[in-house]
A and B are shown apart, each in its own frame.
Chain A
Amino acid sequence: VTGIDGGSAAGALPPGRLSAGRIDPPSARLAAAPPDNGSPAIPAQLQPDDTASPSEPISVTTGPASGVTGPPKVVARNRLTWRDKLIRDRSLLLMTLPAIVLTAVFAYGPMFGSVMAFQDYSIWSGFWHSPISSPAGFGNFQRLFHDPIFWHAFSNTLVISAVQLILYFPVPIALALLLNSVLSSKVRSTVQAIVYLPHFFSWVLVITIFQQMLGGAGVLNTYLRQHHLGTWDVMTSPALFKYLVTAQAVWKEAGWGIIVFLAALAAIDQTLYEAAAADGAGRWRRLWHITLPGMRGVIVLMLVLRLGNALTVGFEQMLIQRVAVGRDASEVLDTFSYYYGVVNNNLSYGAAAGLFKGVMSLILILAANKLAHMFGEDGLYRK
């Protein structure tokens, strides 16, 4: 039943999870228990030689003092001051610098720039000198929460998200189960190669493809017209829009989505099936009692991710199809923030909507993870 975690660790790829508390997987921690300048496989007498530069004092303190086992070395390692470690790891730190700089400017910059949601931002005064919006900095939020268009965007987001949860989420699981039951590996890998492909198409491309297939002049409606069956207006119907974006998401991403589930299936201990069959369990009982419990961890994880991203629903899809289906059907929180903030040049107002979405998303992902813990699963990170 717990075959998933064991399986992926055995696959020599420790699942580094997304949290500070548990960034290093247990296997990596075990390997790291002796200091990293001497792994258990290396004889102790070799250790003084393995430092990169002779000026480092580490080998002198750690090498001779320790046996082959881990714990004493860890104690020795702790004697290093942070300055020693800094000097020892300077090239590693230098390597992370470009990523740190880019992240600081383009991720943390906007994050701190979010203070503009509490200001009456003007481009001339910038983040530092724009006046605080009254009352008490919450003027934009006050207006936002009295804006029916904002609440419309909010409910639209939730509705589309819910439709996707119900109609999209099970598709990759079902496809993975189906594919896993195909015995011929040639068929399997061919199908995989083909269904992964749309993941690499841009949204413009996917929507153009949908238009050429299902649009007014597309294959479907041309056929219907030639046979005098009327037309079916899918691409421009506001009422069908939530199903249309879901269908597009399924077409583009469902195939790619099976990768994780296939891996979970591969990690299930095959002898369980044999034992169950010997005990008289049929095909469906094996699916229910072995396969699904084996996939449970991954399903819960994907569910947590899905719920955490509930407020992010295909921004580019909405943007591209806004003209076709109208603002009412396609307005979601992201497009609201973009159109009110950037296009209508109401910057602080748009930023307030964006900040609201960011904070709500953070709460959602923490809550979804909490829920996973309550069901006894790891979710995104451990307790």
Chain B
Amino acid sequence: MIETTLTPRAAARAERRAQQRRPAWEEKPTALGQLSKGTVLTVVLLAVLVPVYSIVLTSLSNQESVNIAGGMVLVPHGVTLNAYREILGNQLVVHSLIVSLLIAIVGTIISMVVTVLCAYGLSRARSFGHRTILLGLVATMFFSGGIVPSFLVVSGLGGYGSYWSLILPSAVSVFNILVLRAFFAGTAQELVEAARIDGAGDWRTLWSVVMPTSRAVLAVITLFYAVGYWNTFFNALLYLPDNGKWPLQLVLYTYTYRGNNLPGSGTTGIGSYVGHQAVAPLSLQMAVVTLTLVPILVVYPFVQRHFTKGVLVGAIKG
């Protein structure tokens, strides 16, 4: 990643082309070796792709397909959107979808503001107190108070039953601050110096010099936070007793994994009719699963290309 941002694209491409050729000194690959490599890689890919494919397909299948398959559909016999019509007409599901989206959006914004500011504030060597602050933050990675005192602190501040309890307690990820801080301290120093010589203050430098040069790493960290909020499960279980406030993950857990009947339609147990077409209960359940998948599948390709070595490794190392 770092290399590709620092070197011109053409050079990177040439380098990649050079790497793709087998060096002259290396032995010719054996047929057996190639075959076993290919087999392992194929198995690994299928292990990820087949379940996802089957779930999406089942959610799109009509009753007949589900009956023929006897359960999860691998071969389509008829595709319909009825399960989604049914699910998106269900108040509980729609509300949970909105809750999840709002928590992900608001939470990510708060987290990014806090993280970017803190990472920049700590990124200048020899600034006042940065070691102490960093030590104080890092210490929380090694020792935590545990579930019960956390629950009492959040409840004591009025978090029980309110949405901020899903956001504020997990708003700061020290790991992400370290990633970003290493990046700010490592790559942008010359530009920062130049900006300061030109008379830019710290806020100005951060906004118009440091952030624009760190787009890739910012995209990755935004994804981390957004996915974290989207996937919030335990905090919702802990702090939101009322199922009218639940995010999507809790709906998925209760009505798909546990198989409880979905209130408002009374369908999951026995199936239902949309128009004249039967909707298999399994399709409804898989439609809920697909709803939790879709935002990740939509955002992932845009950020995925930034996951190359540089961005994360400096941080994973420490």
**Which residues of A pack against B, CB within 8 Å?**
8, 11-20, 23-24, 27-29, 31-32, 35-37, 39, 41-42, 46, 49-50, 52, 77, 82, 85-86, 88-89, 91-96, 98-100, 102-103, 105-114, 116, 123, 126-127, 175, 178-179, 181-185, 187, 191-198, 200-205, 207-209, 211-213, 217-219, 222, 225-226, 251, 255, 259-260, 262-263, 266, 270, 273-274, 277-278, 282-283, 298, 301, 315-316, 319-320, 323, 334, 337-338, 341-342, 347, 350-351, 353-355, 357-359, 361-362, 365, 380-381
- Cβ of B249 and Cβ of A202 under 8 Å apart? yes
| CB closest chain-B residue, reference A184 | B20
* Cβ distance A137 to chain B, nearest Cβ, rounded Å: 16
12 additional contacts (CB under 8 A) given A96-B121, A191-B45, A362-B143:
A12-B187, A13-B314, A18-B138, A102-B172, A194-B48, A195-B45, A208-B257, A209-B55, A217-B71, A218-B72, A337-B148, A361-B143
CA distance A203 to B253 in the complex (A): 10
Number of contacting residues on B, CB 8 A?
125
Checking A28, A175, A184 against B44 with a beta-carbon cut-off of 8 angstroms, the contacting residue is: A175
- Cβ of A18 and Cβ of B178 under 8 Å apart? yes
Q: Which of B108-136 contact A (CB under 8 A)?
A: 113-115, 117-118, 120-122, 124-131, 133-136
* Cβ distance B173 to chain A, nearest Cβ, rounded Å: 10
| CB closest chain-B residue, reference A16 | B182
Q: Which of B9-53 contact A (CB under 8 A)?
A: 16, 19-23, 25-27, 37, 40-41, 44-45, 47-49, 51-52
Top 5 nearest A-B pairs by Cβ distance? Answer: A354-B146, A110-B145, A113-B149, A32-B125, A17-B318
* Cβ distance B135 to chain A, nearest Cβ, rounded Å: 4
- Cβ of A11 and Cβ of B117 under 8 Å apart? no
B292 within 8 A of A: yes
B99 within 8 A of A: no
Checking A88, A127, A212 against B55 with a beta-carbon cut-off of 8 angstroms, the contacting residue is: A212
- Cβ of B318 and Cβ of A52 under 8 Å apart? no
CA distance A255 to B141 in the complex (A): 24
Tell me which residues across on chain B come within 8 A of A175, comparing CB atoms.
Answer: 44
- Cβ of A357 and Cβ of B309 under 8 Å apart? no
| CB closest chain-A residue, reference B49 | A194
Q: Knowing A92-B124, A204-B257 touch, does A222 contact B44 (C-beta < 8 A)?
A: no
Q: Knowing A110-B153, A182-B41 touch, does A16 contact B314 (C-beta < 8 A)?
A: yes
- Cβ of B317 and Cβ of A8 under 8 Å apart? yes
CA distance A267 to B235 in the complex (A): 40
- Cβ of A95 and Cβ of B120 under 8 Å apart? yes
- Cβ of A109 and Cβ of B127 under 8 Å apart? no
Q: Knowing A91-B201, A96-B133, A195-B48 touch, does A113 contact B152 (C-beta < 8 A)?
A: yes
CA distance A350 to B41 in the complex (A): 45
- Cβ of A178 and Cβ of B41 under 8 Å apart? yes
* Cβ distance A15 to chain B, nearest Cβ, rounded Å: 4
Q: Knowing A12-B2, A182-B37, A347-B148 touch, does A196 contact B307 (C-beta < 8 A)?
A: yes
- Cβ of B27 and Cβ of A282 under 8 Å apart? yes
- Cβ of A337 and Cβ of B20 under 8 Å apart? no
- Cβ of A226 and Cβ of B70 under 8 Å apart? yes
* Cβ distance B145 to chain A, nearest Cβ, rounded Å: 3
**Which residues of B pack against A, CB within 8 Å?**
2-3, 6, 16, 19-23, 25-27, 37, 40-41, 44-45, 47-49, 51-52, 54-55, 58, 69-72, 74, 113-115, 117-118, 120-122, 124-131, 133-138, 140-154, 156-157, 168-169, 171-172, 174, 177-178, 181-183, 185-187, 189-190, 193, 196-197, 199, 201-203, 206, 223, 227, 230-231, 233-234, 237-238, 249, 252-253, 256-258, 286, 289, 292-293, 296, 300-301, 304, 307, 309-318
Checking B26, B44, B74, B233 against A277 with a beta-carbon cut-off of 8 angstroms, the contacting residue is: B26
| CB closest chain-B residue, reference A339 | B147
Checking A82, A86, A194, A204 against B253 with a beta-carbon cut-off of 8 angstroms, the contacting residue is: A204
Tell me which residues across on chain B come within 8 A of A319, comparing CB atoms.
Answer: 234, 237
Can you identify 15 A-B contacts, CB atoms within 8 angstroms? A42-B197, A89-B129, A92-B122, A99-B177, A102-B171, A106-B154, A126-B156, A182-B37, A195-B48, A205-B293, A259-B313, A260-B317, A282-B27, A354-B145, A355-B146
Tell me which residues across on chain B come within 8 A of A8, comparing CB atoms.
Answer: 313-314, 317
CA distance A82 to B127 in the complex (A): 10
Q: Knowing A17-B317, A116-B149, A283-B27 touch, does A111 contact B144 (C-beta < 8 A)?
A: yes
CA distance A251 to B150 in the complex (A): 30
- Cβ of B172 and Cβ of A114 under 8 Å apart? no
| CB closest chain-B residue, reference A205 | B292
- Cβ of B149 and Cβ of A354 under 8 Å apart? yes
CA distance A306 to B309 in the complex (A): 21
* Cβ distance A138 to chain B, nearest Cβ, rounded Å: 17
* Cβ distance A188 to chain B, nearest Cβ, rounded Å: 10
CA distance A208 to B55 in the complex (A): 10
Q: Knowing A197-B48, A205-B293, A351-B148 touch, does A259 contact B310 (C-beta < 8 A)?
A: no
- Cβ of A178 and Cβ of B193 under 8 Å apart? no
* Cβ distance A32 to chain B, nearest Cβ, rounded Å: 3
* Cβ distance B236 to chain A, nearest Cβ, rounded Å: 10
* Cβ distance B246 to chain A, nearest Cβ, rounded Å: 12
* Cβ distance A255 to chain B, nearest Cβ, rounded Å: 7
Tell me which residues across on chain A come within 8 A of B137, comparing CB atoms.
Answer: 99, 103
CA distance A107 to B144 in the complex (A): 7
- Cβ of A204 and Cβ of B55 under 8 Å apart? no
Tell me which residues across on chain B come within 8 A of A277, comparing CB atoms.
Answer: 25-26
- Cβ of B131 and Cβ of A20 under 8 Å apart? yes
Q: Knowing A178-B41, A208-B252, A222-B69 touch, does A42 contact B20 (C-beta < 8 A)?
A: no
CA distance A126 to B178 in the complex (A): 35
CA distance A190 to B187 in the complex (A): 28
Tell me which residues across on chain B come within 8 A of A42, comparing CB atoms.
Answer: 193, 197
- Cβ of B144 and Cβ of A358 under 8 Å apart? yes
Checking A17, A212, A260, A262 against B54 with a beta-carbon cut-off of 8 angstroms, the contacting residue is: A212
Q: Knowing A106-B169, A347-B152 touch, does A18 contact B141 (C-beta < 8 A)?
A: yes
CA distance A263 to B3 in the complex (A): 12
- Cβ of B113 and Cβ of A98 under 8 Å apart? yes
| CB closest chain-B residue, reference A90 | B128
